[in-house]
């Protein structure tokens, strides 16, 4: 039993990057798109300039339902259209500047639209 517990602990340690923790990412969104499969991607000014997934409009993706995804995309597209800042919270992710790209992205816990505008 002890060996099983040690094995589970070891696998868990490798499943999450060592620097993963709570992240509050704030900034501007440069673009969004939805693929044919329903994957929704954004490009922000706090990442390396690459696209990363936030949800899927057709299927549950990493515990994010399609209806929640559509709501988040409404906020994201408003932020783009009006130059508003966006906030995305991750309960367990690497630093905002190094969030993995495309489908390797962690799922957000929430998406926040902020009042201030881009300079």
Are 98 and 105 in contact, with CB atoms under 8 Å apart?
no
Q: What is the pTM of this model?
A: 0.78
Q: Which residues contact 1 (CB under 8 A, 6 or more apart)?
A: none
Q: What is the pLDDT of residue 19?
A: 65
| All domains of the chain in start order, with CATH | 19-117 (2.40.50.50)
Residue 98's φ and ψ, nearest 5 degrees, are -130, 30
Q: Which residues contact 37 (CB under 8 A, 6 or more apart)?
A: 56, 58
d(CA 93, CA 77): 23
Average the pLDDT over each of 17-26, 37-46, 74-83 and give the range with the smallest value. Answer: 17-26
Average pLDDT score, the chain: 85
Q: What is the pLDDT of residue 118?
A: 60
Per-residue pLDDT reduced to its tens digit, 57-70 = 999 999 999 999 99
Based on the number of CB atoms within 10 Å of its own CB, is 45 exposed (0-12), middle (13-18) or buried (19 or more)?
Answer: middle
């Amino acid at each position: 039993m002890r060996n099983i517990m040690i094995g589970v602990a070891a696998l868990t340690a490798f499943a999450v990057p060592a620097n993963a923790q709570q992240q509050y990412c704030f900034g501007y969104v440069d673009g969004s798109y939805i693929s044919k499969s329903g994957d929704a991607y954004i490009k922000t000014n706090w990442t390396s300039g690459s696209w990363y997934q936030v949800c899927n409009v057709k299927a549950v993706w990493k515990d994010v339902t399609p209806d929640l995804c559509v709501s988040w995309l409404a906020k994201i597209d408003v932020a783009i259209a009006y130059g508003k800042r966006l906030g995305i919270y991750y309960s367990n992710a690497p630093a905002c500047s190094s969030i993995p790209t495309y489908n390797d992205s962690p799922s957000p816990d929430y998406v926040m639209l902020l009042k201030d505008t881009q300079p």
